[in-house]
Protein backbone atom coordinates (compact mmCIF):
# COMPACT_ATOMS: atom_id res chain seq x y z
CA UNK A 1 0.00 0.00 0.00
CA UNK A 2 1.52 3.30 -1.07
CA UNK A 3 1.28 5.41 2.02
CA UNK A 4 1.90 8.69 0.19
CA UNK A 5 -1.22 8.20 -1.94
CA UNK A 6 -3.34 7.56 1.12
CA UNK A 7 -1.86 10.48 3.00
CA UNK A 8 -2.65 12.69 0.01
CA UNK A 9 -6.29 11.60 0.13
CA UNK A 10 -6.51 12.27 3.86
CA UNK A 11 -4.92 15.68 3.46
CA UNK A 12 -7.45 16.45 0.71
CA UNK A 13 -10.28 15.48 3.06
CA UNK A 14 -8.87 17.72 5.79
CA UNK A 15 -8.29 20.58 3.37
CA UNK A 16 -11.97 20.32 2.40
CA UNK A 17 -12.88 20.90 6.06
CA UNK A 18 -13.72 17.38 7.20
CA UNK A 19 -12.33 14.87 9.62
CA UNK A 20 -12.90 11.23 8.88
CA UNK A 21 -12.99 10.09 12.54
CA UNK A 22 -13.07 6.41 11.71
CA UNK A 23 -9.84 5.78 9.90
CA UNK A 24 -8.64 2.21 9.71
CA UNK A 25 -6.09 0.63 7.43
CA UNK A 26 -8.86 -1.17 5.56
CA UNK A 27 -10.82 1.99 4.73
CA UNK A 28 -8.77 3.38 1.89
CA UNK A 29 -9.60 1.12 -1.05
CA UNK A 30 -7.06 1.06 -3.82
CA UNK A 31 -7.88 -0.06 -7.32
CA UNK A 32 -5.89 0.65 -10.47
CA UNK A 33 -3.89 3.24 -8.61
CA UNK A 34 -6.99 5.15 -7.52
CA UNK A 35 -7.73 5.60 -3.86
CA UNK A 36 -11.26 5.64 -2.56
CA UNK A 37 -11.74 6.46 1.07
CA UNK A 38 -14.82 4.84 2.56
CA UNK A 39 -16.72 4.75 5.85
CA UNK A 40 -17.55 8.40 6.38
CA UNK A 41 -20.47 7.77 8.72
CA UNK A 42 -18.56 9.23 11.67
CA UNK A 43 -17.02 12.11 9.75
CA UNK A 44 -17.46 15.62 11.09
CA UNK A 45 -17.23 18.98 9.44
CA UNK A 46 -14.45 20.81 11.22
CA UNK A 47 -11.50 22.76 9.96
CA UNK A 48 -8.04 21.26 10.10
CA UNK A 49 -5.77 23.28 12.35
CA UNK A 50 -2.55 21.64 11.34
CA UNK A 51 0.42 23.90 11.24
CA UNK A 52 2.99 21.70 9.52
CA UNK A 53 3.27 19.82 6.26
CA UNK A 54 2.85 16.06 6.16
CA UNK A 55 5.96 14.39 4.80
CA UNK A 56 6.02 10.62 4.39
CA UNK A 57 9.36 9.37 5.58
CA UNK A 58 10.16 12.80 6.94
CA UNK A 59 11.10 13.64 10.48
CA UNK A 60 8.37 12.92 12.95
CA UNK A 61 6.82 16.13 14.30
CA UNK A 62 5.52 16.31 17.83
CA UNK A 63 1.74 16.05 18.04
CA UNK A 64 1.57 19.58 19.49
CA UNK A 65 3.56 20.82 16.50
CA UNK A 66 1.31 19.26 13.92
CA UNK A 67 -1.89 20.23 15.73
CA UNK A 68 -4.02 17.70 13.90
CA UNK A 69 -4.79 14.57 15.83
CA UNK A 70 -6.20 12.59 12.97
CA UNK A 71 -3.39 13.15 10.51
CA UNK A 72 -0.86 12.67 13.27
CA UNK A 73 -2.31 9.30 14.18
CA UNK A 74 -2.36 8.28 10.57
CA UNK A 75 1.37 8.69 10.26
CA UNK A 76 2.03 5.46 12.11
CA UNK A 77 3.06 4.15 15.48
CA UNK A 78 5.75 6.17 17.17
CA UNK A 79 8.47 4.10 18.86
CA UNK A 80 12.28 4.28 19.09
CA UNK A 81 12.15 7.83 17.80
CA UNK A 82 10.54 6.97 14.47
CA UNK A 83 7.22 6.07 12.93
CA UNK A 84 6.37 2.50 12.06
CA UNK A 85 3.52 1.25 9.86
CA UNK A 86 0.30 0.43 11.67
CA UNK A 87 0.86 -3.28 10.99
CA UNK A 88 3.20 -3.37 14.01
CA UNK A 89 0.11 -3.02 16.20
CA UNK A 90 -0.48 -6.72 15.62
CA UNK A 91 3.14 -7.72 15.91
CA UNK A 92 4.93 -6.55 19.05
CA UNK A 93 7.86 -8.88 18.33
CA UNK A 94 8.51 -7.21 14.97
CA UNK A 95 8.38 -3.81 16.66
CA UNK A 96 10.77 -5.00 19.38
CA UNK A 97 13.21 -6.16 16.70
CA UNK A 98 13.40 -2.58 15.40
CA UNK A 99 14.63 -1.26 18.73
CA UNK A 100 18.25 -0.50 19.60
CA UNK A 101 20.28 -3.70 19.81
CA UNK A 102 22.12 -2.28 22.81
CA UNK A 103 18.90 -2.87 24.73
CA UNK A 104 17.92 -6.40 25.76
CA UNK A 105 15.18 -8.08 23.71
CA UNK A 106 13.07 -8.47 26.87
CA UNK A 107 13.24 -4.74 27.50
CA UNK A 108 12.50 -3.89 23.87
CA UNK A 109 9.53 -6.26 23.87
CA UNK A 110 8.20 -4.73 27.06
CA UNK A 111 8.42 -1.28 25.50
CA UNK A 112 6.78 -2.51 22.27
CA UNK A 113 3.82 -3.88 24.22
CA UNK A 114 3.48 -0.65 26.20
CA UNK A 115 3.61 1.52 23.07
CA UNK A 116 1.03 -0.63 21.27
CA UNK A 117 -1.29 -0.67 24.25
CA UNK A 118 -1.14 3.11 24.66
CA UNK A 119 -1.74 3.62 20.96
CA UNK A 120 -4.79 1.36 20.93
CA UNK A 121 -6.19 2.83 24.13
CA UNK A 122 -6.01 6.32 22.65
CA UNK A 123 -6.88 5.77 19.00
CA UNK A 124 -8.68 2.44 18.78
CA UNK A 125 -10.52 2.05 22.10
CA UNK A 126 -12.78 -0.71 20.80
CA UNK A 127 -9.86 -2.88 19.76
CA UNK A 128 -8.10 -2.03 22.99
CA UNK A 129 -11.09 -3.09 25.10
CA UNK A 130 -11.38 -6.35 23.17
CA UNK A 131 -7.75 -7.12 23.88
CA UNK A 132 -8.16 -6.32 27.56
CA UNK A 133 -10.98 -8.86 27.70
CA UNK A 134 -8.83 -11.64 26.22
CA UNK A 135 -7.69 -14.21 28.77
CA UNK A 136 -4.01 -14.36 29.57
Q: Which residues bind Zn ion (CB under 5 A)?
A: 14, 48, 50, 68, 71
Half-sphere exposure of 71 (CA within 13 A, CB side): 31
Q: Do 84 and 63 contact (CB within 8 A), yes or no?
A: no
Q: Which one, 48 or 77, has the nearer CB to Zn ion?
A: 48
Q: Which one, 18 or 128, has the nearer CB to Zn ion?
A: 18
Q: Which one, 69 or 117, has the nearer CB to Zn ion?
A: 69
Q: Which one, 74 or 119, has the nearer CB to Zn ion?
A: 74
In angstroms, the CA 106 to CA 97 distance is: 10
Strands (E), 21-81: 28-31, 34-37, 44-45, 77-79
In angstroms, the CA 70 to CA 63 distance is: 10
Amino acid sequence: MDRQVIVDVMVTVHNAGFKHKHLKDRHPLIQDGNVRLISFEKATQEPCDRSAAIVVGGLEPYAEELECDELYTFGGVSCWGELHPLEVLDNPHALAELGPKSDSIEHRLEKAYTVIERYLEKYEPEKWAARQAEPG
